[in-house]
Amino acid sequence: MNKKHLLWIIPSALVVLVVTLYLLLPVFAKIAIQKKIGRFEKEKNAELTIDGLRIGLMDFHGIVPISFEKAQLRERDAADTLLCLSNVKADVQIVKRLRPTDDLIALACHSASIHLVHRENHRNYGFLLKKDSLNAPVTENHSDFKQLSQNILQKVGNILPERMKIDTLTLSADMRNRHFCYSMSDFAIEDGSLRGLLAEHFGSTHHTWSLDGSLDHAARSYRAALTALDGNDGFAIINELKQMRFGFKQLSGHISDEGSDAAGAHYLLLAEADGLQLNHRYLATHDVTIDSTAARLHLTISPTRFTIDSTSVLKLNDAELHPFFAYEKKGSQKPHVTFIVNEEGVDAKQLTGSLPDGLFQVLPDLQLGGRMDFRLVFDCDFNVIDSLAFDFSIGSRDRSVCITGDADRISRFNAPFDYVFFENGDTARIVTIGPDNPHFCPYDQIPPYLTKSILATEDAGFFQHRGFIKSSIREALVADIKAGRLRRGGSTLTMQLVKNLFLNRNKVFSRKFEEMTLVWLIEDYRLLSKERMFEIYVNIAEWGPDIIGIGAASEFYFGKKPKELTLGECLYLASLIRAPKHYRSTLDEHGNITDNKREELLFVARRMVEREFITEKELSCADFFIHTKCMDKEE
């Protein structure tokens, strides 16, 4: 065989080999897919069946067409199918710039259904949440926030192709003996636009939303908006399972990748809601309506830190806030959280006019004017909770804030008024705070020992501070965080009085904000004097079951007028304010205070000496063997 033949045979053989490999590519691809399916089934204990799988030839762009008639996914030996697909056609790019890839370019599907089941001890989707313990690398308990954020955006790009058309997408859920069904029709992506029609079915409830958005995979920018077509009742699955209300007329979001530098990955997050309706037991006691709310957040995410910088804007109707938030977590340590709001010269009229309907009880009626400032700092390393830093202030530097609305909501308490005492949420008694009440005790007749005893047990600096004791609030926060629940409130007498006179006793965030604002107005603008506040406090305080006011308490326990009470008797009465219904546990069968109660009163009395409320001589002369007459009255 001469060289000419060889020069002809070798290229021809190579061409034949390449063509053969090209023609056999679908076979190799099918084998590779089957191997991946087998590995997935073994790792997840799953059954994935694909009927009528066909793989076409790759084009010049490295794109391979794949189609199948039906696919089902479930946990092995389980009765409930998790995923079912029918009549699927997809274009997958397996080569890009001479490198292997698995990018989904186009997808068409007649129907796709996902059925989630969550019963007592069974979840038909739980097998997907299990980690691959065989192949997973051994790593530290460590989350790389930057890598996680980039992976999420990358997965969004992988899941949502450049072109997509799903005739019917159905998600049904059986959870806590409730059945929810969501269906998306005409779900499509084309020329960078996203559209669809979402419908919800829950019992007799039926709602629909239109979906539209845009996708730019190259710029890693994604936007989506849901618009309610029949009201704003929200998603039943959230409202039912979370025992809350979350409804909206339109909800939209937009995230874009702004690049990376040494500080981390930067993202811009835009969110907006119109006609928002909320209700949650920690937010308020009934529905809250917000006409318009929006957020423009500048996020920086490093491997161990997530930050929202203070150039970000939170908008509530016409009011704006510029928060700073940071969440840092290193390895297996607990997080370090920082939250700061520092606003100066805020238009009080604009702020109060932007308050959501149903969230506050008094502030909307006051209609403040002028300019106000407020600052909140919360900085806590949960590894060292005692290091918590807290600061709070609210004020008006130019003293321009004024009440332009119903100022009588506050000033009326300077005159006699009827106080409604509630028991278990119902009106129990109406007590007149004024001379018409025979048990009313004016400020000048409150015994000094009672005043000092209440100050020692409740609020030592009441006559000096301006409504808040930051150190007490900080100590309460530390105690609450350590306990994992709300145990202490750090309340001053002014805060307690505002809560009793103006607000309900529900522990919700809205009530706390309103309480703080009312305390500032009353204290800074002397809408009520300290003496009047203390007078009201002792006359509306509960000292036992159905015992309202110091006059009634003095008569019930000792058969005396308040001005006749001794130091020991005043200390005893002051000790009942926090638990008035348990007074019997402080007495023996003869009406004498118990030894434990006597020791408690002596401890408080010694603190009063240290604070120079009383002298050592007054303490030594005091009688702590106290006898009450309430037992005799009950008999």
Residue 262 has φ and ψ, to the nearest 5°, of -65, -25
DSSP per-residue letters across 229-272: SS-----HHHHHHTT-EEE-SEEEEEEEEEEEETTEEEEEEEEE
Interval 487-533: pLDDT, tens: 656 688 999 899 888 876 666 667 778 888 899 999 988 899 999 99
In the chain the first and final C-alpha atoms are separated, in Å, by 130
Would you say 401 and 425 are in contact if contact means Cβ atoms under 8 Å apart?
Answer: no
Provide the pLDDT for residue 413: 93
CA dihedral sign of residues 590, 591, 594, 598: negative
Phi-psi region of 92 (alpha: psi -120 to 50; beta: other; left: phi over 0): beta
Angle in degrees, 0-180, between the axes of helices 530-540 and 448-458, rounded to the nearest 10: 90
The reply to whether 268 falls in a domain is no
The reply to whether 531 falls in a domain is yes
Own/partner long-range contacts of 581-590 (Cβ < 8 Å, ≥24 apart) = 581/544, 581/545, 583/543, 583/544, 583/630, 587/628, 587/630, 587/631, 589/631, 590/627, 590/631
CATH assignment of the domain containing 556: 1.10.3810.10
Q: Which two tokens stand for residue 606?
A: 């010694």
* 493 and 539 both lie in a single domain: yes
The reply to whether 385 falls in a domain is yes
Q: How far is Cα 127 from Cα 44, in angstroms, rounded to an integer?
A: 6
* 373 and 503 both lie in a single domain: no
* 373 and 436 both lie in a single domain: no
Within 10 Å of residue 394's Cβ, how many Cβ atoms?
20
| Cross-strand pairs, 402 | 369
Cα 212 → chain centroid: 28
Instruction: Encode 106-122 in three state secondary structure.
Output: EEEEEEEEEEEEECCCC
* 625 and 511 both lie in a single domain: yes
Q: How far is Cα 270 from Cα 339, in angstroms, rounded to an integer?
A: 20
Q: If you ran DSSP here, which 8-state letter would residue 6 be given?
A: H
Question: Strands 178-190 and 63-75: what pairing?
Answer: unpaired
* 438 and 363 both lie in a single domain: no
CA angle 408, 410, 415 (to 5 degrees): 80
Would you say 545 and 448 are in contact if contact means Cβ atoms under 8 Å apart?
Answer: no
Please list the ranges in the chain whose pLDDT falls under 50: 133-141
Provide the pLDDT for residue 254: 96
DSSP per-residue letters across 45-111: TEEEEEES-EE----TTSEEEEEEEEEEEEETT-SS--EEEEEEEEEEEEEETTEEEEEEEEEEEEE
The reply to whether 3 falls in a domain is no
Provide the pLDDT for residue 358: 77
Count: domains in the chain: 2
* 462 and 381 both lie in a single domain: no
Q: Which pTM does this prediction carry?
A: 0.78
* 332 and 466 both lie in a single domain: no
The burial class, CB within 10 Å (0-12 / 13-18 / 19+), for 616 is: exposed
The reply to whether 87 falls in a domain is no
Q: Which among 357, 374, 406 is the end of a domain?
A: 406
> Which segments within 356-397 are labelled E, that is strand?
368-369, 371-381, 389-395
Own/partner long-range contacts of 212-216 (Cβ < 8 Å, ≥24 apart) = 215/160, 215/189, 216/192
- HSE value, Cβ hemisphere, 13 Å, CA-based, for 404: 11
- CA nearest neighbour of 248 among 207, 201, 301: 207
For 111, 227, 232, 251, the CA distances from 197, given in Å and listed in that order, are 14, 10, 16, 14
Q: Which among 406, 438, 455 is the end of a domain?
A: 406
Tell me the chain's radius of gyration from C-alpha atoms: 35
* 578 and 474 both lie in a single domain: yes
* 590 and 546 both lie in a single domain: yes
Provide the pLDDT for residue 138: 43
Q: How far is Cα 156 from Cα 222, in angstroms, rounded to an integer?
A: 9
* 432 and 480 both lie in a single domain: yes
Provide the pLDDT for residue 139: 45
Burial profile 513-539: b = 16 or more Cβ within 10 angstroms, e = fewer:
ebbbbbbbbbbeeebbebeebbbbbbb
The reply to whether 269 falls in a domain is no
The reply to whether 536 falls in a domain is yes
Provide the pLDDT for residue 22: 54
Q: Which among 359, 384, 406 is the end of a domain?
A: 406
Provide the pLDDT for residue 78: 84
Range of the domain at 364: 303-406
For 24, 63, 64, the CA distances from 60, given in Å and listed in that order, are 16, 7, 10
* 430 and 310 both lie in a single domain: no
- CA nearest neighbour of 532 among 420, 426, 414, 614: 414
Q: Which two tokens stand for residue 425?
A: 């949420």
Q: How far is Cα 492 from Cα 473, in angstroms, rounded to an integer?
A: 9
Q: How far is Cα 633 from Cα 316, in angstroms, rounded to an integer?
A: 57
The reply to whether 313 falls in a domain is yes
- HSE value, Cβ hemisphere, 13 Å, CA-based, for 71: 19
Q: How far is Cα 442 from Cα 189, in angstroms, rounded to an integer?
A: 75
* 468 and 341 both lie in a single domain: no
Within 10 Å of residue 499's Cβ, how many Cβ atoms?
19
Provide the pLDDT for residue 80: 87
| Cross-strand pairs, 123 | 118
